[in-house]
Amino acid sequence: MTDTLNAMPPATDTAPPVPAEKPERNSMLRHARYVASENPVTGLAFALFALIALCALIGPYIVPHDPLASDTAAALQPPSWKHWFGTDQLGRDILSRVVVATRLDFVIAITSVALVFAMGGLAGIAAGYFGGWTDRIISRLSDTIMAFPLFVLAMGIVAALGNTVTNIVIATAIINFPLYVRVARAEANVRREAGFVQAARLSGNGDVRILLGHILPNIMPIMMVQISLTMGYAILNAAGLSFIGLGVKPPTPEWGIMVAEGAANIISGEWWIALFPGAALMLAVFTFNLLGDGLRDLVDPQRRT
């Protein structure tokens, strides 16, 4: 905290004692460090996120075993020094499979959230800003989606479109659509008549510029919370689809499938097959949920004091 303080030029003129931060190249990084140190939970979330991202990036190159190589001689072994997380029915190393699966689950979560943020976020601010028929159509559309049990809807979409990763992404995006629309709509609606929006209109900004250049950046903090929450939800959803056989196909390592494969063996005492991928899943969801507050602080300039 002290270096943040020292970096501030002294307040000048009749200004209230507000610290000014010169916009420098590294100010975002420094701010991230500040946000993380301010709140230990956020720091933990950032660290866990870095771990997950690292696994997704370089996981396949560092694992001790080939995640697909089966070795029936070593099937169903409990955790040991050779196989830290044990082995499954086909003798595959569970640690390797859990680590390698990170990339797929992570990519599904990120792409589906990016997709739904683009669709739902834009539709929502348009609905909130324009009101009238735009609002009616978009809101009723999202109400219609909300009317279905969401997981069943996702199942239906994947079943109808085909069992591919792309379709899992699309299905996950669609079921999260209403959440984004509602938040973005409410936030845009209260800002529609705000002074700075009127001022932007006076400055000659058209509606599109006002929406994207003025309103959207202002609702980013709250959208960030939404993004991190739905990230966790998206991972759960993708894993859930795979668990019931409607997603990634075996033998591709994926947390949902691995839990499904291990579920039958829990009764016979081989708990490790389902436990470790399940724990990885839980950890990922936990991380994303914790991340929300930190992300909000990161994108909100008012916190940067």
Partner 1 sequence: MLKGPTPEVDTGEALPLLDVRDLTVEFQTRRGVVQAVKHVNISLAKGETLGIVGESGSGKSVTSYAVMRILDRAGRIADGSVMFSNLDLRRIDESEMRDLRGREMSMIFQSPRLALNPIRKIGQQIEDVLLQHAQIDRDMVAEKAVEMLEQVRIARPRERYHAYPFELSGGMCQRVVIALALACRPQLLIADEPTTGLDVTTQKAVMDLVTELTRDRGMSTILITHDLGLAAAYCDKVIVMEKGHVVETATSETIFRSPEHPYTRKLMRATPRPGITLRDLLPEDEAKRAGATGTTAVKSGAPLLKVEKLVKEYPRQGSTSSLSRLFRTGPAPEGDVFRAVDSISFEIARGESVGLVGESGCGKSTTSMMLMRLIDKTSGSITFDGEDIGSIPARAFATLPQRKRIQMVFQDPTDSLNPRFTAARAIADPLLRLSDISRKEIRTRIEELATQVGLPLNLLDRFPHQLSGGQKARVGIARAIALKPDLVVLDEPTAALDVSVQAVVLNLLQDLKDKLGMSYLFVSHDLNVVRLLCDCVIVMKSGQIVEQGPTERILTTPAADYTRELLTAIPHPPL
For 73, which DSSP code? G
Q: Of 70, 163, 189, 205, which one interacts with partner 1 (CB under 8 A)?
A: 205
Alpha carbon distances (Å) from 285 to 45, 98, 280: 11, 15, 9
Per CB under 8 A, the segment of 13-21, 87-95, 177-185, 239-247 that binds partner 1 is 13-21
Burial of 10 (0-12, 13-18, 19+ CB in 10 A): exposed
Q: Of 3, 61, 160, 204, which one interacts with partner 1 (CB under 8 A)?
A: 204
CB of 220 to partner 1, least distance (A): 8
x/- contact string, 274-303, with partner 1 (CB under 8 A)? ---------------------------xx-
Q: Of 75, 110, 145, 200, which one interacts with partner 1 (CB under 8 A)?
A: 200
Q: Which is nearer to partner 1, 19 or 79 (CB)?
A: 19
**Biggest alpha carbon distance in the chain?**
79
Per CB under 8 A, the segment of 6-14, 39-47, 167-175, 240-248 that binds partner 1 is 6-14
Q: Counting contacts by CB under 8 A, is residue 2 touching partner 1?
A: no
**Residue 204: how many other CB atoms lie within 10 Å:** 7
3-state helix, strand, coil in the chain (%, to 5): 75, 0, 25
Instruction: Please say whether the beta carbons of 185 and 125 come within 8 A.
Output: yes
CB of 46 to partner 1, least distance (A): 19
Instruction: Please say whether the beta carbons of 179 and 196 come within 8 A.
Output: no
- Interface ranges with partner 1 (CB under 8 A): 5, 9, 12-16, 18-23, 132-133, 194-196, 198-207, 209, 214, 217-218, 301-302, 304-305
